[in-house]
Amino acid sequence: METNSTPSIQKLILEAGARPLAPDVPVDELSARLSAIRTEMEVDQLDAIVLTDLKNIRYLTDFHSFSSYFNSRPFFALVTAADLLLFGAAYEQAYVDAKPRSFSALYYDGYLEQGAGLVADTIRSTFKGKTPRIGIDYGEEMNGRGSMLLVDALRELSTGGELKSASPTVWRVRHIKTPFEAELKRTAFAICNEAFDQAIAQAHIGITEYELWRIMQAQTFLNGADSGDPFPVIFSKGDFMYGRPPSNRRLEPGHYVWSDFRATYGGYPADRNRIARAGEPSAWELETYTAVRELTLELCHSIRPGMTCSEFYEATMRKWAPFLVGNKFALHTPGSKSARFGHGGGLDVVETPSLGAFDNTVIRPGMILHVEPKLERDGAVFQFEEVIYLREDGIEFVTPLCPEIMPVIR
């Protein structure tokens, strides 16, 4: 039931953690990433890649600035066989020069038009009248800075007037996570997992979604998060709308609490779903909780390097079929283009590949994969998002496993 009453906050108790600031990416790791990108550029016959997605820029440079939150003066980067260049507004020079960097930088005085122009002029002078094959990071699961000024300029410079998507090139490198990246992810998951448990310990019948969300959001920062996009925390008895922002809905007996975190550590987000129930669950709910949890772990252990994502999906559908009876969650409907049982994760909350029927990506050692079948039944939701790091000899969980016993709010 929706109400317009003001949430009570008198029971808000926050706990400050002691996690250190996330470390810089080691220089040798940045060098290896750049080398790998250049190798893939040769495979795709690209002479230059222009990066506009802030995650791609950070991946290769380890540079991040609060100025990136504004649209007026965007950052760009350029990768060639010889150079890695960052383009930024003139006032960023002092920050860039404040410590040694793994890249060179060029600066523009102005806004988007001047920044795009500087990128184009730099490519023109770099290739000295030649027509390079240029790619840009516009594509699947990449949120690059859109600019017709930049696109038109790059098309004019590129061989045959063709500007290619460099997203497949970049993803083949970003798919493979190093132990350093996996450790940052592991810490992000621990931060959010702790925040959920801390908030649920304070929750009570009658608390609002918004109040519980504020506790969880604040607690992630106190636990050591360096950023945190808004995330859903919803109460429901069957009317689940997973993208709905928290509201003044109050927690009632029989409600299920569903949350999906976004907080980051070192820029790496913890996409982690957690659930809890308000009031004592019935026997069938406890049995279903256990069954879905056990199947999720079984699916995690079934993933092996060399299999394709579509092969995993097909094998999983055979195991998931008994759960489809009565499941209201439509994304697992066989034949749906969007049907999948999970996805990749790294610097982005959701990354390729997709653990779905239409993705033939080969699973490789070094991938971080989220496995998250979801069951809706009789007003309840059962979902356990477990995250694994693929190794040559098996899997390694980078999340604390979801509890064996259903969390209950009384």
pLDDT digits (tens, 9 = 90+) for 14-24: 777 789 999 99
Task: Give the confidence band of 108 by pLDDT, cuts at 50, 70, 90.
Answer: very high
Say if 136 falls within a structural domain. Answer: yes
User: How many domains is the chain built from?
Assistant: 2
70 and 94 assigned to the same domain: yes
Task: Answer yes or no: is pLDDT of 5 > 90.
Answer: no
With a CB cutoff of 8 Å and minimum separation 6, the contacts of 58 are 64, 267, 347
Q: What pLDDT is stored for residue 9 in this prediction?
A: 46
201 and 62 assigned to the same domain: no
333 and 346 assigned to the same domain: yes
275 and 402 assigned to the same domain: yes
Q: What pLDDT is stored for residue 8 in this prediction?
A: 47
Task: Answer yes or no: is pLDDT of 77 > 80.
Answer: yes
Answer with the residue of higher pLDDT: 393 or 301.
301
260 and 401 assigned to the same domain: yes
With a CB cutoff of 8 Å and minimum separation 6, the contacts of 183 are none
Task: Answer yes or no: is pLDDT of 326 > 90.
Answer: no
- The model's pLDDT over 334-356, given as tens digits with 9 standing for 90+, comes to 678 889 999 999 999 999 999 99
Q: What pLDDT is stored for residue 14 in this prediction?
A: 77
Q: What pLDDT is stored for residue 330 in this prediction?
A: 78
With a CB cutoff of 8 Å and minimum separation 6, the contacts of 208 are 5, 7, 246, 247, 248, 249, 250, 251
Say if 22 falls within a structural domain. Answer: no
Say if 289 falls within a structural domain. Answer: yes
Say if 375 falls within a structural domain. Answer: yes
Given 141, 174, 207, the domain boundary residue is 174
Task: Give the confidence band of 57 by pLDDT, cuts at 50, 70, 90.
Answer: very high
198 and 162 assigned to the same domain: no
Q: What is the CATH number of the domain that holds 213?
A: 3.90.230.10
Say if 74 falls within a structural domain. Answer: yes
Q: What pLDDT is stored for residue 69 in this prediction?
A: 83
- Percentage of the residues of the chain whose pLDDT score is greater than 70: 97
Q: What is the CA radius of gyration of the chain?
A: 23
- Percentage of the residues of the chain whose pLDDT score is greater than 90: 89
263 and 250 assigned to the same domain: yes
| C-alpha closest to that of 134 among 66, 76, 187 | 76
| C-alpha closest to that of 51 among 73, 78, 87, 33 | 78
Return the C-alpha torsion angle 189, 287, 312, 355, nearest 10.
Answer: -40
With a CB cutoff of 8 Å and minimum separation 6, the contacts of 380 are 238, 256, 277, 285, 288
- The model's pLDDT over 190-248, given as tens digits with 9 standing for 90+, comes to 999 999 999 999 999 999 999 999 999 999 999 999 999 999 999 999 999 999 999 99
Q: Write out the two tokens for 105.
A: 């930088």
109 and 61 assigned to the same domain: yes
Average pLDDT, the chain: 94
Sheet holding 273-278, edge to edge: 233-236, 256-260, 273-278, 408-409
Only one residue has tokens 């060098």, namely: 31
Task: Answer yes or no: is pLDDT of 78 > 50.
Answer: yes
Q: What pLDDT is stored for residue 12 in this prediction?
A: 64
**Amino acid making up residue 21:** L
What is the average per-residue pLDDT within 119-128?
97
Given 133, 153, 174, the domain boundary residue is 174
301 and 370 assigned to the same domain: yes
Q: Write out the two tokens for 79.
A: 């990768």
Given 125, 149, 174, the domain boundary residue is 174
Say if 18 falls within a structural domain. Answer: no
Q: What is the CATH number of the domain that holds 97?
A: 3.40.350.10
Whether 309 and 360 have beta carbons less than 8 Å apart is answered as yes
328 and 312 assigned to the same domain: yes
131 and 146 assigned to the same domain: yes
Structural domain including 123 reads 27-174
What is the average per-residue pLDDT within 308-330?
93
113 and 202 assigned to the same domain: no
What is the average per-residue pLDDT within 358-365?
97
Angle at 54 between CA 127 and CA 106, to 5 degrees: 40
Q: What pLDDT is stored for residue 11 in this prediction?
A: 57
**d(Cα 167, Cα 333) in Å, to the nearest integer?**
29
Kindly give the residue spans of alpha helices, DSSP state H, lying in 325-395: none
First to last CA, the chain: 18
Task: Answer yes or no: is pLDDT of 7 > 50.
Answer: no
DSSP 140-178: TTB-----HHHHHHHHHHSGGG-PEE-HHHHHHHHTS--
66-75, 106-115, 217-226: segment of lowest average pLDDT? 66-75
**Amino acid making up residue 212:** L
